[in-house]
Amino acid sequence: MIDPSVIRPEIALGDFLPIFVSSALVLVFGGFYVGIYTAVKVKMLKPWFIALAYMFWLLTAYCLYLMGSLMHVGEFTAKALVVAAIGLILLPHAVYYMQDQVHKKNEH
């Protein structure tokens, strides 16, 4: 007999398009976040654009939440989505911190 706590509700037919769109927007908004953040760090954009980058991160996190809730993900997958959102916001910071440290130690 299958444990009833393992069975997930079926995804409603009307939820397939919102799931597809929100998962696609995760990629689009995440790309805009990283792109704008990078452009600000390399001084292609003015520093105030960083607020726009963080807005795109918030949109990415919301789309991850929407996608997970529509798919009725389990507890483990929900935690993985939270870790992915946190990793997305922290990874560019870590990359540019390491780049800055290397650049300071190896002045030209």
3-class SS string, the chain = CCCCCCCCCCCCHHHHHHHHHHHHHHHHHHHHHHHHHHHHHCCCCCHHHHHHHHHHHHHHHHHHHHHHHHCCCCHHHHHHHHHHHHHHHHHHHHHHHHHHHHHHHCCC
Question: Which tens digits make up the pLDDT trace of 2-27?
Answer: 666 656 678 888 889 999 999 999 99
87 pLDDT higher than 80: yes
Q: For position 6, what pLDDT does the model report?
A: 59
CB 30 within 8 A of CB 88: yes
Mean pLDDT of 87-106: 91
The verdict on pTM exceeding 0.75 is yes
Q: What is the pLDDT of residue 23?
A: 95
By mean pLDDT, which of 32-36, 47-51, 71-75 is the weakest? 71-75
* pLDDT for the residue 69: 93
Quote the pLDDT of residue 106: 85
User: Has residue 1 got a pLDDT over 90?
Assistant: no
Question: What count of Cα atoms within 13 Å lies in the side-chain half-sphere of residue 51?
Answer: 2
The whole-number average pLDDT for the span 78-82 is: 94
* Contact of 63 with 19, CB cutoff 8 Å: no
